[in-house]
Structures are given as structure tokens and as C-alpha cells.
Amino acid sequence: MRADPRDALQVAGLICAIAGAVALLACIIEFARSGRGTLSPIDPPRDLVVRGLYRYVRNPMYVGLSLTLLGEAAIGRSLALVAYWIAVFVAANLFVILYEEPNLRRRFGASFDDYMKRVGRWIPRLPS
């Protein structure tokens, strides 16, 4: 399928997909720069990453992945990709709640608890 630049849904999808990919790349760079680690479970960040996109949401990589998948679904007008995104989002949410957050709490203690209070899991919080 070839994208049509006159199709608003495809253009919006392309913008979302590119924004999602850029967000993922920015997070990978931030993991290496301020976290001193990688995405790999065998070399996780040594420091809690709270800079870059992590200032706004606790899980910007999953938000970036969501934008990319939803953008691809819009470009291809694919309900199958929307269903896939739903499954990925449910799985990611369960993984974050049941594994990632407890693990980060054990590793970083009070600093992670403070971070959780200040920064939303998926949606940015309004400044108070």
C-alpha cells in the first residue's frame, strides 16, 4: 500500500509513527547517557532515569511504541494492528505494574517512590 499525502488519516498516522520512533530513540540515548545502561535486562540502567521524556511520563518507551503502532494502523487503516496495539498495551501495562515498578522500587527505593508521586505512568500530570 502506498501512502497518499492527501489522506489526513495517513498523514496523522505518519506523524504518530515518526514521533513514536523518535521518542524510542530519545529514550535509548537517555538510558545510556544519564542511566549508564541499556534496554537489555543484562545491562539495565545503573541510575534512575528521570531526565528527557522521563520528566513527563514514567514509561515513554511504551508511549513511543504505542504511537508507532497506532500510526502504522492509521497509515494502513488496519483494525488488526489496532487489536495488536491493544494486546501489546495490556501486556506492557501488566509488565510495568507487576514487574518493572516493584523491581525499580527495590533498586532505587525512596527516589523511585518520589518519582512515582511526581510523574504519571502513561499520561503527563499537570504542574501543581
What's the CA gap between 19 and 37, in Å, rounded?
Answer: 23
What's the CA gap between 97 and 103, in Å, rounded?
Answer: 10
- Mean pLDDT for 100-108 is 94
Burial 6-15 (b: 16+ CB within 10 A, else e): eeeebeebbe
Average pLDDT score over the chain: 90
Q: What is the pTM of this model?
A: 0.85
* pLDDT tens digits, one per residue of 21-62: 999 999 989 888 888 777 777 777 888 999 999 999 999 999
pLDDT over threshold 70, residue 82: yes
**Amino acid 3: pLDDT:** 65
- Mean pLDDT for 94-98 is 96
- Mean pLDDT for 91-109 is 95
* pLDDT tens digits, one per residue of 112-125: 999 999 999 999 88
What's the CA gap between 68 and 54, in Å, rounded?
Answer: 18
Q: Higher model confidence: residue 69 or residue 128?
A: 69
